[in-house]
A and B are shown apart, each in its own frame.
Chain A
Amino acid sequence: MSHRQARRWLILLLMVAAFAWLISNMWVWETALGYLFSQEAQVIHPRASLLVLVLEHLRLVAISSAMTVFIGVSLGVWATRPGGREFLPIITDITSFGQTFPPVAILALAVPMLGFGLLPTVAALFLYGLLPIVRNTIAGLDAVSGDLVGVAYGMGMSRTQTLFRVEVPLAASVIIAGLRISIVINIGTAMIGAVIGAGGLGSPIIAGLVQDNLAYIIEGALPAAMLAVLADQLLTGIEDSLKTGGD
């Protein structure tokens, strides 16, 4: 690991630590928001502490992203194998078609089918998050040079060995980029999940909008923005280290 990379990870680590400290010390928020919005009688959303809200939020994203990664990567791998090649055009078509759908519309469509709460939110996040991962898995695997795959076969590697030892490592940074896009979109869409009762960091914002309490809005918006930026930076870090690690 180069000096520059080490410094970058150190900064990221400090940012994560600062975020964790900030969300577990509610008095900081109470003081700051109380000072900024002295006209509000109450500045902290009473439903739950920020730590609980962040954990709720992360749970939504984690469940859906775990399913997304498993199914999305498998689908992408299958579509680039001889057995699934035939389906590559339709899968690419559906992913780009689906990308045009707004995430909120997917969330809204899940309600008539699955009702309110955790289930429709997770289902919508899963479906929408699938697209970037499938797309990037296909793009990453397709970009692996055919010569290299030929060499791997020449060395006596089986198809599975070639996939896991040559193709996936070479495609890893592109796949992680898909994962990053998918997770960042999911963190944002999970905010709207609060409207259909899935909890998370959207709930203080929605409560603030309904009760016209500006402090609640900031209490939800600030940690949500930090969470999304942190997740993005962490995954970009992993992506970059895979890129340089391959050389």
Chain B
Amino acid sequence: MAQRLLGRNNVALVGSVIGLSSLFFSWLTLRPNRLAAGTHISLWDSAGWAATAIIILWLACLVSSLSGWGKSGNRRAIYLGMTANIIVVVALVLVGLTATLLVGDQSPLLRVSLGAGFWITLAGAYIAIFAARERLRGRGAWRNAVSWTALAAFGIFLITGLLQNLSIWQEFSGRESRFLQELGQHLFLLGGSVATGVLLGIPLGIWAVRSKGAERPIFFIANITQTVPSLALFGFLIPPLSALSFAFPALRELGIRGVGTTPALIALTIYSLLPIVRNTYVGLRQVDPAAVDAGLGMGMSGFQIFRKIEAPLAAPLVLQGVRIASVQVVGLVAVAALIGAGGLGWFIFQGIGQAAPDLILLGAIPIIALALMVDAVMRAVVRLATPKGTGKESQ
């Protein structure tokens, strides 16, 4: 029981070393206004107690990754995982409080942004938490605690306003309504194009399975369009749509123009097709012929076989295709801002135009968060749709 098997966890060790190295970088950057060059603030300049706490906690991680990862290493994994979570919480409190202190009653133009040190500590914590989670497979409660504590704390800090003096938040607070509008547009472009992609892609996939002659041209075209760079595809649609709206003013009334939402929706739909068509095709192809035979033997009609046997068995793979398409489209919508379709990419390109890094982040970070959320939700949907007992639950 008390037997401590020697065993080192190299992944956790790498995480801890990365985390410790963050002490040599600046954690915050202070700038007199959003465009000016800044002065760097290291952990030592910010808050002594928190700096000390972070160093001690990282050292604890380092030590605990060195030994004790033998057979009875589960407790070690809990220590390490929770310590890494606490580091993230302390780091968030530290940057939040320091930013508030620095901004104080100074000029409202003052900007405090996150520096490399903070991001490196986050990366180190991610690796350490991953190492702990790997070890805690099958231990529900602790694994959840290790996975979610830091994220939950981040949510609470965000709501309580601890982080409101950081520059990204300040960029946001001036543009709340614009942000919500562009977020809505982003979601609209995402939902509209993926929904159309599903409506077109699933029938195309079924057609490719059923007809030998259709298979090759469908995949040829879907593959080629997927290869064309997004900016080029948006570009191709502009002249014909402009010509159309010029020739038929009635279309312009409907919002069909060379730039804006229409070409964006068309191009994004085209991009979402390939994953959906391909996965529908593969999904239907991998249905066990014995299952179809069983249906025939039971006297089912062709449509019944499709509805009761083929469709449910192919569903997980089709949804997997929808997941891939959705995640990809979240990113491609960002490019659509270049052709005047709006969305969160608007902030990125405005930020690039004004050379304002915080504005770029205001676009980029929500886009990444959205992609991760769409990915997680769709993975859960795929899991729900996977029939029990086919041995594919774990995929």
- Residues on A close to B: CB < 8 A? 36-37, 86-87, 89-90, 93, 97, 100-105, 108-109, 111-112, 116, 184, 187-189, 191-192, 195-196, 201-202, 205-206, 208-209, 214, 217-218, 220-222, 224-225, 228-229, 232
Contacts and interface: CB of A to CB of B under 8 A. Distances in A.
B28 interface: no
A188 B229 contact: yes
Contacts of B351: 108, 111
A209 B242 contact: no
A69 to B, nearest CB: 20
Contacts of B371: 100-102
Contact of B236 (A86, A201, A221): A221
A201 B338 CA distance: 15
Given A37-B239, A104-B331, 7 more contacts: A112-B360, A184-B227, A188-B230, A195-B349, A220-B232, A222-B236, A228-B227
Contacts of B334: 102, 104-105
A101 B334 CA distance: 12
A209 B238 CA distance: 10
B79 interface: no
Interface string B210-241: 00000000000001100111111101101100
Interface SS of chain A: helix
| Size band of the interface chain B makes with A | 35 or more
Contact of A102 (B224, B228, B331): B331
B10 A87 contact: yes
Nearest to B348: A108
Given A87-B10, A90-B11, A188-B230, A217 B331 contact: no
Given A105-B368, A108-B363, A111-B357, A86 B11 contact: yes
Contacts of B233: 221, 225
Nearest to B339: A209
A196 B238 CA distance: 22
B327 A229 contact: no
A41 B345 CA distance: 31
Interface string B328-367: 0011101100111000010011011001010011011001
Contacts of B6: none
B231 A218 contact: no
B29 to A, nearest CB: 10
